[in-house]
Amino acid sequence: MKKFITISTIIIISLTLLFTGCFDKPFCPNPDASKITANRGTIGTEGMVISGAAGAVEPGSTVKVIDKDGHTATTIADANGSFTLTEADLPEDFDHTLGNTIEVTQESEDCRESGEAEVIIVP
């Protein structure tokens, strides 16, 4: 009897999650870190630039960039799956420390937020 109750409970929970939308979208693939750069920049370049080359993320996805302190900036990828965030797009306290990492994720109408791609901040 306990086995029946356990199986029934699992089925009920699964159906509840399914009908409430928790299983309706798969996770997005992780961004391609090999196609993403985070350049600290200089005064001449007007500060930090974080960019993804074509194919770095899914076309049209919302790209989220997060520093080690949780400061976040978002942008929308273009039709080629590339994106750019400049100093002006970043929160005032965003980490610019050379050698530190930032995390990049993506999300779209077709999929839930991906895992992170870690990118090192370079000069």
DSSP string of 38-59? EE---TTTTS-EEEE-TTSS-T
- Within-domain flag for 16: no
- Within-domain flag for 15: no
Query: What's the total number of domains in the chain?
Result: 1
- Within-domain flag for 96: yes
- Within-domain flag for 10: no
**Residue 112, phi then psi, degrees to nearest 5:** -80, 170
Q: Are the C-beta atoms of residues 51 and 83 closer than 8 Å to each other? A: yes
Q: What is the CATH number of the domain that holds 99?
A: 2.60.40.10
Residue pLDDT, tens place only, 66-114: 999 999 999 999 999 999 999 999 999 999 999 999 999 999 999 999 9
Mean pLDDT, all residues of the chain:
89
- Within-domain flag for 42: yes
